[in-house]
Structure 1
């Protein structure tokens, strides 16, 4: 369990906490909650063939129309998610 915890903490530090100034506990809770939603719902995972863990809720992607991609900033603009516009 120690190795898993160290890996999660390392991921949080590299992808989020090293890039943002946390003001207080409430701000930290808000940032971590948004990152958790992104991590489980949208972020690709190498062990799952670049699919997010919550793939059941994701719509099937159509690669024919790549021109209509929209960017959605999350975690106070630190991370961007990209979605098809259709």
Structure 2
């Protein structure tokens, strides 16, 4: 075995981008993992279910039903006036 040399190794810079910037770019361009995709889909599914329940609750409110019936009556009257 040879003794470690005391010579300096000089490498020429091959890029103008710093390591910090390079790793920052890698993290930004990182593809989502399967578990992240599944978690996102599950969150969307849960949000959709909450929205459906909220819509059902709104439909069952007396004030909303009255407004819908009033709208149907007005649309029915508008249709009879046209004929």
Q: Which has the larger radius of gyration?
A: 2
Task: Pick the structure with more helix per residue.
Answer: 2
**Higher RCO (C-alpha under 8 Å, 6+ residues apart):** 1
TM > 0.5 fold call: no
TM-score by length of 1: 0.28
Task: Pick the structure with more strand per residue.
Answer: 1
TM-score by length of 2: 0.29
